[in-house]
Amino acid sequence: MTAWQQIVSSAIVGTDRLLLLPSIADPPLLARLPEGEKEAALLSTAAVLSLRRRAGWLPEQAAAEGPDTPAAAEERPGVSRHAARHLKSLLSGEHAVLLPEWLQAADRAGRIVPPELLPRLLAHARQQRFSMESLAAAIGKRGVWLIGRKLEWRLPEPGTDPTVWETGETKERIAWLAAKRLEDPAAARAALEKVIGNESAAVRAEFIGALAAGLSAADEPFLETTLNDKSKEVRKAAASLLCRLPDSRWVERMSGRAHAALRYQPGGLLRSAKLEVLLPESLDNAMKRDGIDPGPYTARKQVGERAAILMLIVAGVPPSRWEQTFGITPAAILKLAKDHEWAEALLSGWAMAAIHSGDAQWAAAILMDENSWPKLLVPLADVASSVPAAEREAFILRALAETRGIVGAAITAITTIAAPTTAAATTEQAEELLARLHPVLKTFDELPESLAAGLLPVVKKLLGGGKPSWTCATIVHELAPRIPLPACPQWIEILGQLSEENSLTRQIQKTAELLVFRTEMHRAIQESDL
C-alpha cells in the first residue's frame, strides 16, 4: 500500500476507527505539519501527498489498440466557412429538409464537408437512412476513414459473405438475398429454394419479396410452385412478382378471368359504346391460390367484395392487352369506365396494372383525367412515378390552368355578386384540386420551371385575399425545396408580399425563409475562402 492509499483508507474508514499516518519520505515537509488533532494531521498529510502525486504524475505509454492507419489525403477542397455554417444549421435541425440538396450541391461543386461536421452528418444520415451514394462524394476520404472507425457505421457487405445468409438475422439475410440477386439471380433463387421450407410464413413472404431485385421469366417456375403455399401472405408475395411477368401462367389465368368479366360493345348508329361487366360470383379456391385477397379493401369499406375481386383481376392483366382485345385507345377505354357503376374497381384495377407493368401510356391516360383521381384506391404518386416527367408536367399544367380558372371565377363572384358562400365553395374546389395534385407534384425532385411558373398564380390567389388557404400554405411549404433555384427570387418576393396583412403570416414567412436559405446556401457552396 502506498502512503496515499493508506491516507485514503483512513479517510474512508474515519479517524475514529483507523488512522494510518504514513511516514513521508521528505522530512522537512513532515516537520511542517501542524501538531494537534489527528483529523488535521490526516488532512494535512493528504494535501501534501495529493499535491505531490499530481505534480509527479507521469503519463503511461499508450497500448496499441485497434486500427491505426491515418486517413488518406483529400483530393477535393473543403467547402467555404460560410457553406460549413449552413451545413451546421441544417444538422442542428434548421431547414433540415434541405440537407440532401446541400450535399448534392457540394458534390457538384467538387467540394467536401469539413471534417469536424462529419460525425454529426454521418450519425444523422444513418438515422434518416440516406443512401451512401448521396453521401460518398461529399464526405471525402476523411468520411470514408471515419465510417471505418465506428462499428455501427460500417456497411455490411451482403452477397460476399455466405455466413450472413446461413446465420444472420432476418433483416441481414434479406439484404444479403437482395444483393445476391443483383449479382447472380439464379444462385440467389437457388439459395432461397433450399431453405424456404424451414422458415416461418412471415419470413417466407419477406424472402420472396426480396426476389423483386433482378426479377425475370426464369423465376416463374419457382414462383408458380410457391402459390401452393398454405400461407396467404406468401401467395400474395408471389403474386406481386408474377404480375410483373407477362408470360407467366399466373397472368394467363388472370387474363382468362378478366376477359370473362369484361365485354366491350362498340357503339353504333343508335347506341353508344358500352362496357359490360359481369362481377365474379365469389372468391373461389383457384383465385385464393393466385393470391387474390379482397380483404384489405373490403375491411376499409372502400369497395364491396365482388368489386374488389374484379379490381384485383383487372390489376393482374397487362393493360395493353385491352387495347388489342377492344381495338380502342386507353383514353377511350377509360372513358367507358368513367361513369360506370363499377368505375372505382375498374379505374383502380387499371391503375394498379399500369404500375405493375410500368405502362407509361396507361398511367398517363389515368393521370390526364383528374376527375377520376378520387376514385383511385392506389396512391396517385405511384401512378405518376410510372409516367415520364415531361408528361407529368403537361397534365399538371393543364390542371393548374383549371385551378386558376376556378379561383378566378370565385374572385369574380366575390367582387360582382358578393356571394361569399359560392365563392368559398369554388375556392374549396381549387384547394381540393391542388391537394390532389400535391402527391404528383412531390414526385418531382425539382419542379420543371414551367410548372413552378404555373403554380405561382394559383398560390397567389389561394394565399391572397381575406381568407388564405391553410392547405395551400402547407403544400407550398412542402414544395419549397422543389422550386427551381432560378425561380426562387420571384417566389421569395411574392411570398413576402403575401405574408403582409395575412392571417397565415408566420407560415408563409417560414416558406420564404426556407427559400432564402436555399438561395444563400447554393451561393455559399460556390464561394471559396481566401
Note the residues at the interface with other proteins (CB under 8 A). 4, 7-8, 10-17, 34, 37, 39-40, 42-44, 46-47, 50-51, 54-62, 64-71, 114-116, 118-120, 142, 145-146, 149-151
Query: What single letter denotes the amino acid at residue 279?
Result: L
How big is the CA angle at 60 (ends 55 and 62), to the nearest 5 degrees? 145
As measured in angstroms, the least distance from the Cβ of 74 to other proteins is 9
As measured in angstroms, the least distance from the Cβ of 98 to other proteins is 22
Instruction: Determine if residue 459 is left, alpha or beta; phi over 0 gives left, psi from -120 to 50 gives alpha, anything else beta.
Output: alpha
Do you know the residue count of the chain?
A: 530
As measured in angstroms, the least distance from the Cβ of 84 to other proteins is 10
Say how far apart CA 192 and CA 295 lie, in whole Å.
29
Angle between helical axes of 99-108 and 132-147 (0-180°, round to 10): 80
User: Shortest CA distance to 475 belongs to which of 418, 519, 423, 432?
Assistant: 432
The values of phi and psi at residue 262, to 5°, are -115, 130
Grid cell locating 311: 379490381
Residue placing its CB nearer to other proteins in the complex, 63 or 418:
63
Query: What single letter denotes the amino acid at residue 182?
Result: L
Say how far apart CA 189 and CA 212 lie, in whole Å.
11
Residue placing its CB nearer to other proteins in the complex, 72 or 97:
72
- The neighbour count for residue 315, using CB atoms within 10 Å, is 24
Residue placing its CB nearer to other proteins in the complex, 36 or 486:
36
Residue placing its CB nearer to other proteins in the complex, 58 or 155:
58
Residue placing its CB nearer to other proteins in the complex, 16 or 133:
16
Residue placing its CB nearer to other proteins in the complex, 85 or 274:
85
Contact 264, 325 (CB under 8 A): yes
3-state SS class at 277:
strand
Say how far apart CA 360 and CA 14 lie, in whole Å.
85
As measured in angstroms, the least distance from the Cβ of 132 to other proteins is 18
Residue placing its CB nearer to other proteins in the complex, 32 or 108:
32
As measured in angstroms, the least distance from the Cβ of 30 to other proteins is 15
As measured in angstroms, the least distance from the Cβ of 25 to other proteins is 16
The values of phi and psi at residue 22, to 5°, are -70, 155
- The neighbour count for residue 347, using CB atoms within 10 Å, is 24
Say how far apart CA 378 and CA 367 lie, in whole Å.
12
Residue placing its CB nearer to other proteins in the complex, 11 or 273:
11
Grid cell locating 179: 444483393
